[in-house]
Amino acid sequence: MKLATQPTVKTLGDYAYQAIQKHFKKTLKWEKSVKKDEDPEALHQMRVGMRRLRTAVTRFDVAVDLPKPVSDRSIGKIARRLGSLRDLDVLKESLENNYKPNLPRKEQRALETAFSALAKQREDILSSVQKTLKDEPYKSLKEALEEWLEKPNYQPLASVTIQQVLPDLLLPEVSNFLLHPGWLIGTEFLESEVKVQKNWEREKIEHQLTTEGEVLHSLRKEAKRIRYQMELFTDLYGESYAAYLTEVKNIQEILGTMQDSAVLGEWLGDIFKAEIQTQLPTLANLLTENRYQSWQQWQPLQERYLKTETRHSLHLTILHPLSGVIS
């Protein structure tokens, strides 16, 4: 008879420990490079590591007993600092690669003003990030996590098998996602049925995004939250779950493209102290076209997730993790 060399049934506590350890390690891996400002990719990876660490800490709080410096609030504060710097890098990358090559020479020259302003803003935010990574809250967070990983403390619920509680962990997040008001933007009710309004002109879409853009941005954040949480458990589900996860990621990315385009337009308006239509007409039209195309990609997913069958099917998928032991 062959003896098992490791436990074959994983508990909620096992999953919590693995997730916290994995994302903490990833965060630390990129820290030195971020402090030295060596590579935009390092900043991106550290920010993602911090966000995922935050998800693990908040979602597993029912199972773990973490020290005081390790909290949703403290991690969120650091992640936001990294995020402010990363957003400027994305802005620069987008302007340089996606837009500048398609502009007439006159507008390309005008963009130099924007690049100078961006470099100045980045300098200020970089020094604030470097200070954050030297300050006491960050040091305390690291020390407390290292100690906890060395000698973890758990809540009683940590001992239950992961399959037993997995749907209860995921379903509240699914409900928040599906009940978000962002799904109803650009729809109408016909005999109590939600219908997506199609074939809108660019002007109407622009107006909708101007008035409701924040709501869609909030839905994008909800999509990111549920995506990070679902990614913690991909090995416990099958193909249907993987397909939903891919769609959630698509929703996040499409809404993100719309939001980034709007933010870029607003930022340029502030830099040039005018409507960018007058200073950079070609660029303004490209931004509008970009949002129009994203809206066309968004609507089929919106329509799909407003259907009762899709919503019920997602719930049923979550309710049925793979049975049997996990090695």
DSSP 64: B
**pLDDT in the model for residue 279:** 84
In 10 A of CB 96, how many CB atoms? 12
Note the pLDDT of residue 9. 63
pLDDT of residue 3: 42
Q: How high is the mean pLDDT in each 10-residue block of the chain (327 residues)?
A: 52 95 95 93 95 94 95 94 94 93 94 93 95 95 97 96 94 96 94 91 92 94 95 94 98 95 90 83 94 96 97 96 61
Question: Structure tokens of 326?
Answer: 């996990």
The span from the CA of 269 to the CA of 275, in Å, is 5
The per-residue pLDDT for 192 is 85
Q: Strand pairing partners for 194?
A: 189
> pTM of the entire structure?
0.90
In DSSP terms, 161 is beta-bridged to: 11
pLDDT of residue 326: 42
The dihedral sign for the CA sequence 65, 69, 70, 74: positive
Q: Quick one: tokens of 70? A: 């390790």
